[in-house]
Amino acid sequence: MSDFNTNEMMTVAAARRLGNGSVCFVGIGLPSKAANLARLTHAPEVVLIYESGPIGAKPSVLPLSIGDGELAETADTVVPTGEIFRYWLQGGRIDVGFLGAAQVDKFGNINTTVIGDYHAPKVRLPGAGGAPEIAGSAKKVLIILKQGHRTFVDKLAFITSVGHGEGGDHRKRLGLPGEGPVAIITDLCIMEPEAGSNEFIVTSLHPGVTREQVIENTGWQIRFADNVTTTEAPKAEELAALRDLEARTAAAHGQKGGDE
């Protein structure tokens, strides 16, 4: 089982960033797929929390939304949404916020609101949900999305969720707790914030991906770390767990879940 596609590489690479025993506030879609893969492989004791109130969710298939009954049925407990945000998130009890995005910029700021002018947008996106609070209050944030000129942009049409703001110590000056985004994982590479500037630079290229591909699919003048590594290819057991999860989800919902 050595062959894998770029989506599988992205999901596996993102899952590996989640430590065993950590408390993770999970977004629907790609973040949920990666977080549940982590739970099914190297991090069986991870605590997955969803915005609708499930704590310790262990879904057998990927949820369609935060209101999916699979989350509540498999959770250790379910609490009111207000408690999730006030006690768990704002109380400093979330180790990792795992987010997707429609667009991201070089400082890890996220747009999930509109493309184009806010009052007359070309595209109206799903909106903020709990992402602004997760990005603002989680101890660390992971971002996962497919890479392209439309998603990695020099200037966001709208900042839904603040990452490192304008770079440097801007996040600290805004009074936001936590480190903010510590990694952006894509289907091409892994980016991490540069010390001091907090601008995201490429630290790891996925197998077979070239620097030219990353440059061509980034809307700003992307830079590379001095020592760029090659991401470890997915292991057989990681691929098996991921494909089984996708197969169960497809059988239940008619789709793999988390592909966008």
Q: Is the pLDDT of residue 254 over 90?
A: no
Q: What is the mean pLDDT of residues 89-105?
A: 97
Q: Residues 6 or more apart from 177 whose CB is under 8 A from it?
A: 92, 136, 137, 139
- At 238, give phi and psi (nearest 5°): -70, -45
pTM here is 0.95
Q: Name the token pair of 188.
A: 């091409």
Which is catalytic among the residues 8, 51, 199, 238? 51
Cα 109 from Cα 218, distance rounded (Å): 15
Q: What is the mean pLDDT of the chain?
A: 95
In the chain, what percentage of residues exceed pLDDT 70?
97
224, 202 contact by CB (below 8 A): yes
Q: What is the mean pLDDT of residues 114-120?
A: 93
194 is catalytic: no
pLDDT value of residue 256 = 65
Kind of pairing, strands 140-144 and 121-124? Answer: unpaired
pLDDT digits (tens, 9 = 90+) for 54-94: 999 999 999 999 999 999 999 999 999 999 999 999 999 99
Q: Is the pLDDT of residue 220 over 60?
A: yes
Instruction: Go through the domains of the chain in sequence order and give each one's CATH number.
Output: 6-250 (3.40.1080.10)
Q: Scan for tokens 């950590």, then name that residue.
A: 22
Cβ atoms within 10 A of the Cβ of 89, count? 21
